[in-house]
Structure 1
Amino acid sequence: MRQISAKGDLLKIREEFERHFKERTEEINCSLLAMLAGEHVLFLGPPGTAKSLLSKSICEAIEGRFFYYLLTRFTTPEEIFGPLSLKALQQDDFCRKTDGYLPTAHVAFLDEIFKSNSSILNSLLTLLNERKFHNGSRVIDVPLLTAFGASNELPEENESLEALYDRFLFRCQVRYVEDEANFLELIFSPDQFKARARLSLQKVREVQEMARRVEVEEDAKKIILEARREFRAKGIHLSDRRWKKIINVLRVAAAAMGKESVDRSMALLLQHMAWDRPEQKGQIRDVLMDLIISGGVSLEKLKNEADDLLSLVQRSVDFKFPLRIRCYDCNEVLDNSKKLYIHKTLYPEHSYYDPYRISLHLRYFGYADLIKVLQDEYGWNFVENTPHRIRSYIMELAGMFERHAQARVKVEEESGDLKGLLDANMWVSRNDKLAIMNRCNNKVSLLKDIERTLRIIESMIERDGQVSLMDRVAAFQAGAQ
């Protein structure tokens, strides 16, 4: 694959912007990546956070026609799409003179985007999504590469505004400057800023062409698939269209750096594209960081599953009855769930005394009714120790051991490789890189906790069956064949 020098140009632009716009690395990265991918960016944040200045400045850093407008509830279509052509009207042609307006722009900045009114929304939605504008009887292709939107708040509950919100793949929360040194430099530095570094439209097209040939590595695919499951479990649902756009962005991000494939470190970019409400971003970021470290295995999910399996095995293999149960037919005394099941298997017609009624109010039941009484009336929290259930435990445990082994390789043996991927990834912020590497150490201890739980389950099952777990797995697999 022929290398492209876009990375050098992009780094120059970013460094220049970072010197003037403090604590805005994520917003700058998202803006540059959106322009390369042909997607739209939304800046959300309170007044006075330089959303408008940053957006306008980045728009001016790319060669091409630029359109800017501050929207209000009274903005008319003429102000956005151009005035009606009087000459065309004389010929009964209802079309606009679009030169210098949004339909002819390569980049655009629409301030207070959610103050759009119904008279311009439909045309705006089509233009942003399909890059087409209905001008009278003609449908024209528009050259729009990227639109920037800014707002102090999320859109109100309105179907059209929610559709407009969905058009912005990248969403950035813009906050006030936190660091005191950055704050002092901000308030005492000149307000004027004009970027000297530029990005050409030709360079953008080259990167987009390269992106079509970029592959997605298996690790990255695995992370994306598990992230989708985790997001859904947290009530975060992304449309198939949005996922498709996200994958394209990852390919563009790799191509811009001259890479031939999307590696697992790229998955962190989803934190800027997957949330609908600001409070979801932290959850998404945590999920992605954990999956990047473990190579697509959710260790928290594995830990919860191991704990649940331990509880089930304890209740079926090692559950001691609070009171002993006596067989009505042979008088044998049974003190745990395993003995009760074996007795039932040997003597299916036998009945059993109610352990709480053995004198004046004597009663007895068949096996199935006894189990129901013990669990429902007396709340005995045990599970029948059946061969089918033990077999399912064994197979589930074997799968957990396999997932644990995969994650262990990624966390313990390939942490150096991950650090190298992060260091080479220009789209991941310095803070995120540090956060991921710090989490690696925590994941090592979590892996040890999970392994201890799995070993306890293994020993309980082996003690119950008097044969090693792996021998039983092999036997089950051979039987299945």
Structure 2
Amino acid sequence: MTERDIQALLNKLPRLKQEIQKVIVGQGEVLDEVLITLLAGGHGLLEGVPGLAKTLLVRTLSNAMDLDFRRIQFTPDLMPTDILGTEVLEEDHATGKRFFKFNEGPIFSNIVLADEINRTPPKTQSALLEAMQEYEVTYAGKTYQLPQPFFLLATQNPIEQAGTYSLPEAQLDRFLLYIKIKYPTEQEELNILANTTGTRKAQVQPSLTGEEIMLLRQLVREVSISEDLLRYVNRIVRATRPDSTTVNFVKTYCRWGAGPRAGQALILTAKARALLHGRFAVTAEDVRVMAYPVLRHRVLVNFTAEAEGITPDKVVDELLESITLPKAVLA
């Protein structure tokens, strides 16, 4: 790609955001984190109380891109085959022979919305593990490749609500970012009421193709990051582990910390954030901003923390306060 081609491709990202914001009012930080997840080639978990437009955000994102979209509503009686697909017995009318044919499930799409993923038991939740990590599905000993790009966004209600099942740690770790959606501001909520109770209907135009998304994902990996920032990321991730950390706050309030996948996620999302802002080099701010959605589902606090209201985000606060930036980065 020439420099002009790269710039033309990057110019489509602001247009993509503008198309989504025709429907989604506010939530700028959430939208950025969703796009960072897409650019980095990972999957996102969105959490918020009902009514905060989680499903609408994902559906609008799919409308703003020229990609296949499927929605899976997770319920307590959902089975793994309802997600992955199943084999059915068919007959060749010419020869009379019978054979099994695999009918693909809704997971075989470019963008998949796993709606209210924690409304279904862990057995069904785990059906997504191979698809999220390997981008393929194995059924009856055969492996089927998922279409590319493949991007899964799951929504969940807060685990304190009735009828929810906590996601297993192995499942949580497959999500690149854990994105929390907060209530809108007073003005944003006023705009929502005005925009959604009349006859106006926004028309969202596709701004990116699947091929362009794959090119952007390659560009993300080409964004540079200094050796000092790599070491800074490594120190942050290793400091989350209570058995070996030098941060007393972590020793007091954490049961266990993040693994190497967290470091990979922090670097990739920092690169994606830099590209989203039109830069080809990662800054310390990129790392510090992305530390929260990368680590909040990979750091498990203990009972003492829960009793005192200490959240994983508070742990990240303390980590960023305790671990100083390298002098070369500050210069």
Say yes or no: TM over 0.5: yes
Rounded to whole Å, the distance in 2 between the matches of 1:128 and 1:154 is 22
Change in CA separation of 1:264 and 1:118 when aligned onto 2, cut-off 3 Å: closer
What is the aligned counterpart of 1:273 among 267, 288, 294?
A: 294
Question: What amino acid sits opposite 1:138 in the alignment?
Answer: K
Question: What amino acid sits opposite 2:137 in the alignment?
Answer: F
Matches within 5 A, 1:217-296: 217-232=226-241, 233=247, 234=250, 235=254, 237-256=257-276, 259-267=279-287, 268-276=289-297, 279-285=311-317, 287-288=319-320, 296=325
CA apart distance, 1:220: 2.1
Could you list the per-position Cα deviations for residues 395-448 of structure 1 after superposition, in whole angstroms to 9, with x for gaps in the alignment?
xxxxxxxxxxx49x93xxx6xxxxxxxxxxxxxxxxxxxxxxxxxxxxxxxxxx
- Of structures 1 and 2, the one with the larger relative CO (CA 8 A, separation 6+) is 2
Q: State how many pairs are aligned.
A: 294
Matches within 5 A, 1:105-120: 105-117=109-121, 120=124
Rounded to whole Å, the distance in 1 between the matches of 2:49 and 2:126 is 27
Rounded to whole Å, the distance in 2 between the matches of 1:78 and 1:280 is 34
Tell me if the contact between 2:110 and 2:151 (Cα under 8 Å) persists in the aligned partners.
yes
Name 1:131's counterpart in structure 2: 135
Q: Which runs of 5+ in 1 are unaligned?
A: 298-405, 415-481
User: Which structure shows the bigger proportion of residues in strand conformation?
Assistant: 2
Report the 3-state secondary structure (helix = DSSP H, G, I; strand = E; otherwise coil) of the residue aligned with 2:257: coil
- What TM-score do the two structures reach when normalised by structure 1? 0.54
Could you list the per-position Cα deviations for residues 168-215 of structure 1 after superposition, in whole angstroms to 9, with x for gaps in the alignment?
1211111221x3222211112136445225221111111222233332
Rounded to whole Å, the distance in 2 between the matches of 1:137 and 1:121 is 20
Rounded to whole Å, the distance in 2 between the matches of 1:48 and 1:39 is 25
Tell me if the contact between 2:75 and 2:120 (Cα under 8 Å) persists in the aligned partners.
yes
Change in CA separation of 1:285 and 1:30 when aligned onto 2, cut-off 3 Å: farther
Change in CA separation of 1:175 and 1:255 when aligned onto 2, cut-off 3 Å: closer
Name 1:183's counterpart in structure 2: 189
Name 1:10's counterpart in structure 2: 13
Report the 3-state secondary structure (helix = DSSP H, G, I; strand = E; otherwise coil) of the residue aligned with 1:104: coil
Change in CA separation of 1:16 and 1:283 when aligned onto 2, cut-off 3 Å: farther
CA apart distance, 1:125: 1.3
Change in CA separation of 1:282 and 1:119 when aligned onto 2, cut-off 3 Å: closer
Change in CA separation of 1:138 and 1:262 when aligned onto 2, cut-off 3 Å: same
Rounded to whole Å, the distance in 1 between the matches of 2:177 and 2:112 is 15
Change in CA separation of 1:219 and 1:193 when aligned onto 2, cut-off 3 Å: farther
Report the 3-state secondary structure (helix = DSSP H, G, I; strand = E; otherwise coil) of the residue aligned with 2:132: helix
Rounded to whole Å, the distance in 1 between the matches of 2:91 and 2:130 is 23
CA apart distance, 1:122: 4.0
Question: What amino acid sits opposite 1:186 in the alignment?
Answer: I
Matches within 5 A, 1:47-126: 47-87=50-90, 91=98, 93=100, 95-98=101-104, 101-117=105-121, 120-126=124-130
- What TM-score do the two structures reach when normalised by structure 2? 0.76
Name 1:472's counterpart in structure 2: none
CA apart distance, 1:32: 0.9
Name 2:179's counterpart in structure 1: 172
Q: Which has the larger radius of gyration?
A: 1
Tell me if the contact between 2:237 and 2:259 (Cα under 8 Å) persists in the aligned partners.
no
Change in CA separation of 1:141 and 1:157 when aligned onto 2, cut-off 3 Å: same
Question: What amino acid sits opposite 2:83 in the alignment?
Answer: I
Rounded to whole Å, the distance in 2 between the matches of 1:29 and 1:290 is 27
Rounded to whole Å, the distance in 1 between the matches of 2:204 and 2:171 is 29
2:210 pairs with 1:201: yes
Tell me if the contact between 1:5 and 1:258 (Cα under 8 Å) persists in the aligned partners.
no
Q: Percent identity?
A: 19
Rounded to whole Å, the distance in 2 between the matches of 1:48 and 1:255 is 31
Rounded to whole Å, the distance in 2 between the matches of 1:123 and 1:226 is 33
Tell me if the contact between 1:207 and 1:252 (Cα under 8 Å) persists in the aligned partners.
no
CA apart distance, 1:68: 0.3
CA apart distance, 1:84: 3.3
What is the aligned counterpart of 1:29 among 28, 32, 43?
A: 32
CA RMSD of aligned residues (A): 3.1
2:141 pairs with 1:141: no
User: Which structure shows the bigger proportion of residues in helix conformation?
Assistant: 1
Question: What amino acid sits opposite 1:246 in the alignment?
Answer: L
Name 2:169's counterpart in structure 1: 162
Q: Which runs of 5+ in 2 are unaligned?
A: 242-246, 301-309
Rounded to whole Å, the distance in 2 between the matches of 1:25 and 1:258 is 17
Change in CA separation of 1:228 and 1:88 when aligned onto 2, cut-off 3 Å: farther
Name 2:307's counterpart in structure 1: none
Change in CA separation of 1:118 and 1:181 when aligned onto 2, cut-off 3 Å: closer
